[in-house]
């Protein structure tokens, strides 16, 4: 699915392109599924921090089978099931990924589930562990908690032993978050987030705030951070980059901490690989499970991106290149099944 001009998801169109060749340190993957993320929407709209030259194939995380190894790649063999962060190129039958951004797929993990994992769980783990230094028993507030990075942060927060307050913008999303194991849920549409968090924390506020939304949600959250807290700047799904009155950080003695997972992977590849090992161990132990909202066929990739735009997704949307029969009932697939 090629993006020849920038715009809404509908600009994506099917096209025949040459088979991508893996350079040194890369491998080619026969794609079975591609996870859809908010940055895909921003890239196609020309609103992301990186602007790849046109035309390009979007798709930042894939699961599939190793098809060819580039020079100098060891630790993988043709035919192995893998999952990888690709940044671009995933919405295609074949994609290339750096070997260091590729992991073997746990046995029995469906391609659609695996494709929903590395990007959002990698981001949420890096945010909460390296940037937020979240400790067991601390209170974690997650904004946009029913979204991709948000739902991963809820699950990881629970796995790390935090008390998780999950904030989202509809009754259906709050029910979803209760089912995900959030300790308390908050509807932040009415502007009552600050008071709700204060009420749930005996007036202290949250120790760590995970914010992929920005805008008014950030403004409210920045007023209910605990003493010694960490306010994690993850993204701006609302479309508004907030302005921050720094006196709040002084008065409450808290830190505002930036999170940039792509750059972290480039700057600290050994730490990023260790993060992924920890995440895969939790996934295999059944303590993490990507919630798949809907699976789309490749030709309907624009509809998958549009779901993120209209704010209807709970968990993740995934594009599958497998035959419908392999996907199970109604396009919905159970996690952790082949
Ligand atoms: N820093 C990093 O390394 C990193 C990595 C990955 C993603 N990100 C960024 O994080 C942000 C969220 O990504 P995601 O994958 O979690 O996205 P997502 O799955 O679409 O979730 C975003 C959530 O934001 C809320 N939202 C509020 N206003 C919105 C609007 N106008 N349009 C759409 N959603 C809106 C929605 O929840 P409610 O309806 O409940 O409010 C939605 O569930 C994006 O800006 C993305 O670029 C950053």
Please state the rounded mean pLDDT for residues 62-77: 97
> Is it the case that residue 192 has pLDDT exceeding 70?
yes
Instruction: Answer yes or no: do 133 and 56 share one domain.
Output: no
**What CATH number has the domain bearing residue 227?**
3.40.50.720
Structure confidence at residue 326 as a pLDDT band (50, 70, 90)? low
Asked whether residue 213 is assigned to any structural domain, the reply reads: yes
The rounded Å distance from CA 72 to ligand 1 centre is: 37
Instruction: Answer yes or no: do 100 and 125 share one domain.
Output: no
Instruction: Answer yes or no: do 23 and 113 share one domain.
Output: yes
259 three-class SS = coil
- Rounded to the nearest integer, the mean pLDDT of the chain is 94
Asked whether residue 39 is assigned to any structural domain, the reply reads: yes
Please state the rounded mean pLDDT for residues 60-89: 96
d(CA 106, CA 216): 40
Assess whether the C-beta atom of 193 lies below 6 angstroms from ligand 1: no
Whole-number CA gyration radius for the chain: 19
Nearest CA to ligand 1 atom 10: 235
Per-residue burial over 70-86, b = 16 or more CB atoms within 10 Å of its CB, e = otherwise: beebeebeeeebbbbbb
Instruction: Answer yes or no: do 128 and 245 share one domain.
Output: yes
Helix (H) or strand (E) holding 309: helix 301-309
Tens-place pLDDT, residues 172-190:
999 999 999 999 999 999 8
Share of the chain above pLDDT 90, in %: 92
Q: What residues contact residue 163 under an 8 Å CB cut-off, 6+ apart?
A: 137, 138, 139, 140, 183
Asked whether residue 163 is assigned to any structural domain, the reply reads: yes
Distance of CA 56 to the CA centre of its chain: 21
Assess whether the C-beta atom of 233 lies below 6 angstroms from ligand 1: no
Instruction: Answer yes or no: do 146 and 205 share one domain.
Output: yes
| 50 compared with 159, residue with greater pLDDT | 159
111 three-class SS = helix
**Measured from the CA of 42, which atom of ligand 1 is nearest?**
47
Q: Give the domain extent around 216.
A: 120-262
Please state the rounded mean pLDDT for residues 256-285: 95
DSSP string, 26-38: EEEEEEEEEEE-H
Instruction: Answer yes or no: do 105 and 140 share one domain.
Output: no
Asked whether residue 268 is assigned to any structural domain, the reply reads: no
> Is it the case that residue 335 has pLDDT exceeding 90?
no
Instruction: Answer yes or no: do 49 and 137 share one domain.
Output: no
Please state the rounded mean pLDDT for residues 303-329: 84
The rounded Å distance from CA 212 to ligand 1 centre is: 5
Q: Running DSSP on this structure, what letter comes out for residue 255? A: E
d(CA 300, CA 8): 14
d(CA 320, CA 62): 10
Instruction: Answer yes or no: do 124 and 167 share one domain.
Output: yes
Asked whether residue 270 is assigned to any structural domain, the reply reads: no
Please state the rounded mean pLDDT for residues 255-276: 96
Asked whether residue 337 is assigned to any structural domain, the reply reads: no
**What CATH number has the domain bearing residue 308?**
3.90.180.10
> Is it the case that residue 256 has pLDDT exceeding 60?
yes
**Measured from the CA of 259, which atom of ligand 1 is nearest?**
1
Q: Give the residue, out of 36, 237, 309, 318, with the most ligand 1 atoms within 8 A of its beta carbon, to mutate for a pocket test.
A: 237
Instruction: Answer yes or no: do 129 and 254 share one domain.
Output: yes
Helices 269-284 & 118-125 angle (0-180, nearest 10): 110
Q: What residues contact residue 322 under an 8 Å CB cut-off, 6+ apart?
A: 32, 33, 111, 112
What total of structural domains would you count in the chain? 2
> Is it the case that residue 237 has pLDDT exceeding 70?
yes
> Is it the case that residue 323 has pLDDT exceeding 90?
no
Instruction: Answer yes or no: do 93 and 135 share one domain.
Output: no
The rounded Å distance from CA 33 to ligand 1 centre is: 21
Q: Name the CA dihedral angle for 323, 329, 331, 332, rounded to a multiple of 10 degrees.
A: -130
Q: What is the pLDDT of residue 215?
A: 96
């Amino acid at each position: 699915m090629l993006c020849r001009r920038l715009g809404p998801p509908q600009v994506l169109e099917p096209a025949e392109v040459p088979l991508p060749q893996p350079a040194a340190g890369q491998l080619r993957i026969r794609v079975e599924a591609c996870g859809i993320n908010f940055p895909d929407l921003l890239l196609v709209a020309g609103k992301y921090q990186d602007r790849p030259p046109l035309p390009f194939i979007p798709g930042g995380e894939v699961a599939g089978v190793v098809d060819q190894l580039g020079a100098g790649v060891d630790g993988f063999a043709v035919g192995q099931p893998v999952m990888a962060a690709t940044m671009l190129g995933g919405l295609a039958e074949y994609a290339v990924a750096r070997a260091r951004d590729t992991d073997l797929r746990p046995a029995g993990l469906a391609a659609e589930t695996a494709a929903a994992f590395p990007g959002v769980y990698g981001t949420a783990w890096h945010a909460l562990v390296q940037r937020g230094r979240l400790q067991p028993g601390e209170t974690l507030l997650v904004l946009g908690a029913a979204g991709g990075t948000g739902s991963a942060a809820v699950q990881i927060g629970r796995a790390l032993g935090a008390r998780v307050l999950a904030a989202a913008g509809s009754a259906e999303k709050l029910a979803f978050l209760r089912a995900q194991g959030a300790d308390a849920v908050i509807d932040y549409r009415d502007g009552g987030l600050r008071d709700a968090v204060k009420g749930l924390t005996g007036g202290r506020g949250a120790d760590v705030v995970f914010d992929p939304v920005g805008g008014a949600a950030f403004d409210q959250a920045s007023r209910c951070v605990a003493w010694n807290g960490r306010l994690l700047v993850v993204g701006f799904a609302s479309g508004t980059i907030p302005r921050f009155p720094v006196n709040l950080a002084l008065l409450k003695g808290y830190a505002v901490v930036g999170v940039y997972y792509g750059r972290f992977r480039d700057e600290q590849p050994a730490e990023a690989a260790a993060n992924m090992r920890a995440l895969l161990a939790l996934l295999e132990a059944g303590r993490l499970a990507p919630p798949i909202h809907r699976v789309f066929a490749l030709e309907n990739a624009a509809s998958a991106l549009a779901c993120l735009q209209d704010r209807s997704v709970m968990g993740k949307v995934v594009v599958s290149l497998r035959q419908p029969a392999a996907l199970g009932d109604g396009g919905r697939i159970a996690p952790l099944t082949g």
